[in-house]
A and B are shown apart, each in its own frame.
Chain A
Amino acid sequence: MSQASRADRPTVAVHGLAKHYLRREGWIGGRVARIRAVEDVSFSVGHGETLGLVGESGCGKSTVGKTILRLLEPNSGRIEMLGTDITHLRESALRPLRRHMQMIFQDPYSSLSPRLTARRIVAEPLTTHGLASGRAKWERVEALMQRVGLRADQIDDLPHQFSGGQRQRIAIARALAAEPRLIVADEPVSALDVSLQAQVINLLTDLQDEYGLAYLFIAHDLSVVQHISHRVAVMYFGRIVELAATSEVFAHPLHPYTQALLEAVPVPDPARRGMRRIPLQGDPPSPLAPPSGCPFHTRCPHVMERCRTTPPIMAQDAPGHWSACHLHHPP
């Protein structure tokens, strides 16, 4: 659990983050429903560390990523970036800090501006923050493109002339350009072919080792998360239900949802066929009809009476291993 961080403070620390959406039901004067996309999320990521954020669709992991970068406005909580509280900073004050917090998106086909060349896409952070100009700027752009494995002669091509894997590399080059401290990677390899995933994952780990980047690695693919993360946070229905070192989460999952998730992943080994238990039943609850108490109680194989009435709190069940489950820490 100890962080071998260069600085004392974590690169990013999030406390009690919440993000809600309002949705009007009915046509005229209907009720307004409050969808709690993210509720009471807290974590930190240190220098050179990868925190994997896993969960299934609708759990809020993408929302967390966008909110900590202030691309969405949080409803409550605190976000500290490199020690500065950026939760309510005005955009003009936030802008210079943005170079330290970058994002890589899932879809390589929509995350690059279709009419800008790779050169201009990668140069944009440099231009925006005045980090380089003229010849020095182009040299830096070329160096970045080479570092991510793209050929120099493609530098003036448009995004649609690149393959999906190459476009993702351009996105990585762009994220690196301003020398950030934190990169939020939102499902960066999910849309890529399997043989390309390995290349991009290797690139990301190499870059982290080289530059000491902090990654918030958002994904639904547990094998990838296990490979790349130092610590893992599991999300369900907008909340973090478990948080621990990677080996701990995968070897000794405490929360029933984490256990179900690990059980559900098909293993590429025919010898292990038929060894899985009964899969998790039912569907995740609808955000418009949130369950009372613990949101997982509707599907939990270990549900108790308390689970239906009282939301569990996140507590340390073992050193460095946190879970939000009544099973493990009765009051």
Chain B
Amino acid sequence: MPVRRGFPRARLAESTARLLGNKLALVGLVISAVVVGLILLAPILAPYRPDAIDYRALLQAPSAAHPLGADDLGRDVLTRTLYGGRLSLAVSLTSVLLAVAVGVPLGLLAGYVGGATDEILMRLVDSLMALPSLVLALTITAVLGPGLVNAMFAIAVVGLPAITRLVRGQVLTIKHNDYVLAARSVGVRPAVLVMRHIMPNVLGPVLVQAALGIGFAIITESSVSFLGLGAQPPTATWGSMVQVGFQYLETAPWIALAPAAMIFVAVLGFNLLGEGLRGSLDPTSRSAT
């Protein structure tokens, strides 16, 4: 009877222990968790409905009734910030997932096969990187038409080159390790080899890049929406809320400040988490001398 020590749990426990030991990651994790938690609990926490208009509370400063004030249509800023976060986060997470889902296979292909395939793919990726990311995102959104879904695609495209290049670079290094040669000598088919031996060793850095990418995606989405090409009214994300609040910055600054602060906190949290993950996800680091 084979002895199984519940190995996936043991390893997860090991990684988690290391993660929790890393102060930076811990702080990042807490902040991100709080942000995500708040957003998920929006229906419970929010005192109002997000589109509830109250003519008596136009541009009202923070008060007992509206803890973060009210906007130009009397809607509760706290509520809208919480609900807006849902969209911001959903868009960011989805675009990062998309970038990973496409970038990882492309990077694996380019790195392992090499040759002409690599050249062609890399030149395509390079051309994407030639434009500043915000400009590229705006251009794509403008071409596809304004809207949150299109913005999401645009952000995914903008984040794609970084993932692809990262994976390709990792593959180029890993490819020359003896264990890849060993797999070839066993007779493992290339596709299986890449999936079984190369990809798992690439995922660590990809995870880090993804965590950092969430922060980047939030900012990009906010910028795109701020410039009017992302979320279209009445859809509200943090970015579009800042856009609206921008006009009232002197008279009712809370309208812009609340979502802006959330952007800051969320990006901070995910960035810290990403930085912290960098150190703690590597199972090959040895603990004793």
Contacts and interface: CB of A to CB of B under 8 A. Distances in A.
Answer yes or no: A and B touching, Cβ < 8 Å.
yes
Interface of A: 66, 69, 71, 94-96, 98-99, 101-103, 105-107, 110-117, 119, 124-125, 128-129, 138, 142, 152-153, 155-160, 171, 174, 178
A113 B183 contact: yes
B185 A101 contact: yes
Given A119-B2, A128-B186, 4 more contacts: A94-B187, A113-B200, A124-B188, A156-B4
B7 interface: yes
Given A128-B187, A153-B3, A105 B196 contact: no
Nearest to B177: A110
Contacts of A66: 181
Contacts of B189: 95, 128
Contact of A105 (B3, B182, B284): B182
Contact of B2 (A69, A94, A138, A158): A138
Nearest 4 pairs of A and B residues by beta carbon: A98-B187, A111-B178, A156-B7, A115-B200
20 contacts: A71-B185, A98-B187, A101-B185, A103-B182, A105-B178, A107-B178, A113-B196, A113-B197, A113-B200, A113-B201, A115-B201, A115-B283, A124-B188, A124-B196, A125-B187, A128-B186, A129-B187, A156-B5, A160-B285, A178-B186
Contacts of B283: 114-115, 158, 160
Interface residues on chain B, size class: 20 to 34
B179 A112 contact: yes
Nearest to B199: A115
Contacts of A71: 181, 184-185
Contacts of B186: 98-99, 102, 124-125, 128, 174, 178
B5 A153 contact: yes
Contacts of A160: 283-286
B178 A110 contact: yes
Interface of B: 2-5, 7, 11, 177-179, 181-189, 192, 196-197, 200-201, 283-286
A107 B182 CA distance: 12
Given A116-B196, A142-B2, A105 B187 contact: no
A220 B286 CA distance: 29
A105 B11 CA distance: 27
B220 to A, nearest CB: 32
Nearest to A94: B187
Contacts of B182: 103, 105, 111-112, 171, 174
B184 to A, nearest CB: 6
B12 to A, nearest CB: 13
A94 B178 CA distance: 20
Given A102-B186, A142-B2, A153-B3, A114 B181 contact: no
B196 A95 contact: no
B252 to A, nearest CB: 53
Nearest to B179: A113
Contacts of B2: 119, 138, 142, 152, 155
Given A115-B201, A138-B2, A158-B11, A124 B178 contact: no
Given A71-B181, A158-B11, A152 B187 contact: no
B284 A155 contact: no
A74 to B, nearest CB: 15
Nearest to B188: A128
A116 B122 CA distance: 30
Contacts of A115: 200-201, 283
Contacts of A155: 2-3
Contacts of B184: 71
Contacts of A114: 179, 201, 283-284
Contacts of B5: 153, 156
A163 to B, nearest CB: 11
A82 to B, nearest CB: 15
A260 B9 CA distance: 56
B181 A105 contact: yes
B25 to A, nearest CB: 20
Contacts of A105: 178, 181-182
B179 A110 contact: yes
A95 B186 CA distance: 8
Contacts of A111: 177-179, 182
B73 to A, nearest CB: 53
Most A CB contacts (10 A, CB to CB) among B5, B178, B192 go to: B178
Most B CB contacts (10 A, CB to CB) among A101, A116, A171 go to: A116
A303 B286 CA distance: 51
Given A142-B2, A160-B283, A95 B187 contact: yes
B114 to A, nearest CB: 15
Nearest to B176: A110
A164 to B, nearest CB: 11
A124 B183 contact: yes
Contacts of B192: 128
Contact of A99 (B4, B11, B187): B187
Contacts of A152: 2-3
Nearest to B282: A114
A174 B182 CA distance: 9
Contacts of B181: 66, 71, 103, 105
Contacts of B188: 124, 128
Nearest to B197: A113
Contacts of B183: 113, 124
Most A CB contacts (10 A, CB to CB) among B11, B177, B186, B201 go to: B186
B13 to A, nearest CB: 13
Nearest to A98: B187
B153 to A, nearest CB: 32
Nearest to A156: B7
